[in-house]
Structure 1
């Protein structure tokens, strides 16, 4: 997901530093230092706000001048998927689960065209993982993944091993609110302190943007003004607080105690599992620079994570995943990322809110095939 400009900036930095000692390396890639880059071009690509397919593909490291100096090692075995898992059934044919996942990522899975797109993108959902929406799709999905929350919420393994994935933040909020209100216990509400950064604004901005308006704003990667949690609810960090203690962006925890200005939580992922930590409020600014003024929000850098966006789930391994699709996915690799989080098809359920009867049992799988150009492998290895 890293923009190629980041790699190019690192390259220029190393060349500049190393050339002070050895002028010959000023023209060498990364100043002559061997770099190991890891990633999967089937997954979600760099986010380029308000840009189209061409710009998104162009932001990839494989489209950088640095790629000419890279040697590609093709990792061929998925270590996340368990061995001897059952196959999935598509139109009556049995397909090994790992082969189906790779076909989704490569864009080679058979597709159908329902809406006169330039290229067909609708795929058949295997019978084993397809979940019918019912009268209330949200309730159906929550019942499937968190049906035993009432008696199992005290067990960390139950919470850690399941998640609902969905494309947009608005769907994430709807799912989190539904599950959170099923969790027994007192609901604790924390409200942020929002302000306009005085160093990057004028006195007029404070008049133009009153406090009530700032509270209503929602930014990607930033907690909302009003944060609702309960003891026992899972949360995800949205900032790197202390990597040495395992508190990184994307770390999942369980709330163990709620103070007025502090949260106590137990880490449930990474190499610091079961460690107790404390999360303070911090000042945060949105990465989105399109807003006219610089907004500063003081809030806990967390989000409740019974559900999370597909993009945010990258790097996670979850035994039970529900893919909730009120609308089809909208970007390259999102379906692949969602289905590849699980270790077995037994733990995967896909629910689509079908607006058209003919699309029942199908969903979109968007793949930018041009991203796979110039990826000829030099050697093979094992995916970790």
Structure 2
């Protein structure tokens, strides 16, 4: 069993990511090559596997399938009959655009409720708060938030203030925007009555033309927050709940999205324990890590940060 993301792999029994199984590079491109010698022990194990089951198939880009296909062709003693394909353009990156798609066995649903007009109207009216005024056939109070779940005061003190560390582990706040996450994180950290420690990143810019580096001063680079990257100024406290932003080791559960509780804050690493999964309570050191965003539009922007973590709040996108 395999998954595309590390957090999904932890939900599977002995689950691993596709990158680990096939030793594929990160990030993946159409011309990437897996670091798996055909005669290695791991390659021999792959050769005798009858079928690979991968979760989150809709998230797997077509270029990843092509890279895996080439890897398996090198490993197998007899090449498969898949015909070669031209490099996929970025607009054809979904799994259905892969040249291997015709070899899949398709299981189709008989009814797509999302395309039903009534369902669309129901979802839209529920989201904007006009449910009872838009749909005539829906009974009043068909969707209603229980009174016990409604609060007039701020949810942050309600959920996080005067809570034991064990209670803090079970509380999560979801936010649709990164800016809201940062604000909530700061408020939650202020509630924890211990000293605050700040970690700073060491940012760099790599360009083909050295003179172009002068166009990217640190005052401009430091505030940038590309996807899955920590802040330049990262604040944390002992007993704070943090979330990993990188896959370190899937088997113990150290992957992107794993929640941990800070035990100690060292100079160049964070000592934290897992709060979920079969290894709950086990302590690890999160080291200083070099991070290179794959979606940054400013040349090659590198953050060398003390820890690859974010604090407290999830961005629900």
TM-score when normalising by structure 1: 0.54
Pick the aligned partner of 2:203 from 194, 202, 213: 194
Q: Which secondary structure state, in structure 1, belongs to the residue aligned with residue 161 of structure 2?
A: helix
Partner-residue secondary structure (3-state), 1:152:
coil
CA contact (8 A) 1:251 1:270 kept: no
Q: Where is the strand percentage greater, Structure 1 or Structure 2?
A: 1
- Structure 1 residues 66 and 141, CA gap change in structure 2 (3 angstroms): farther
Contact 2:159 2:171 in 1 (8 A): no
Alignment match, 2:162:
151
1:5–1:164 CA distance, 2 compared to 1 (3 A): same
Is 1:178 equivalent to 2:187 in the alignment? yes
Please state how far the C-alpha of 1:257 moved relative to its aligned partner. Answer: 0.9
**Partners in 2 of 1:151 and 1:141 — Cα distance?**
13
In 1: Cα distance, 2:265 partner to 2:102 partner: 52
- Give the 3 Å change call, closer, same or farther, for CA 304–271 of structure 1 in structure 2: same
**2:82 corresponds to:** 27
CA distance in 2, matches of 1:214, 1:235: 24
Match of 2:71 among 1, 13, 19: 13
Q: Distance in 2 between matches of 1:202 and 1:272?
A: 48
CA contact (8 A) 1:150 1:184 kept: no
Question: What is the rounded CA distance, in whole Å, between the counterparts of 2:175 and 2:159 in structure 1?
Answer: 21
Question: Matched residues in 1 for 2:125 and 2:99: separation?
Answer: 34
Pairwise mapping of residues 149-298 of structure 1 onto structure 2 (< 5 A)?
149-155=160-166, 158-197=167-206, 200-291=207-298, 293-298=299-304
RMSD: 3.2
2:126 maps to which residue?
Answer: 123
1:74 positional shift: 8.0
Number of residue pairs the alignment of both structures matches: 236
Structure 2, unmatched stretches of 5+, are 1-58, 130-142
TM-score by length of 2: 0.64
Instruction: Specify whether residues 294 and 133 from structure 1 end up closer, same or farther in structure 2 by C-alpha distance, changes over 3 A only.
Output: farther
Q: What are structure 1's unaligned runs of at least 5 residues?
A: 30-47, 76-101, 114-119, 312-384
SS of the aligned residue for 2:302 comes to strand
C-alpha separation in 2, matches of 1:133 and 1:161? 19
Deviation at 1:264, TM superposition (A): 0.8
CA distance in 1, matches of 2:178, 2:146: 23
1:282, 1:301 within 8 Å by CA — same for their partners in 2? Answer: yes
Cα deviation digits, residues 43-77 of structure 1 (max 9, x gap)? xxxxx9xx9xxx5xx643245443332235689xx
- 8 Å CA contact retained: 2:226, 2:296: no
Q: 1:9 to 1:265 in 2, by over 3 A?
A: same
RCO (CA 8 Å, sep 6+): is it higher in 1 or 2?
1
Task: Work out whether 1:61 is the aligned partner of 2:95.
Answer: yes
Distance in 2 of aligned mates of 1:142 and 1:168: 17
Relative to structure 1, is the Cα distance of residues 229 and 64 closer, same or farther in structure 2, using a 3 angstrom cutoff? same
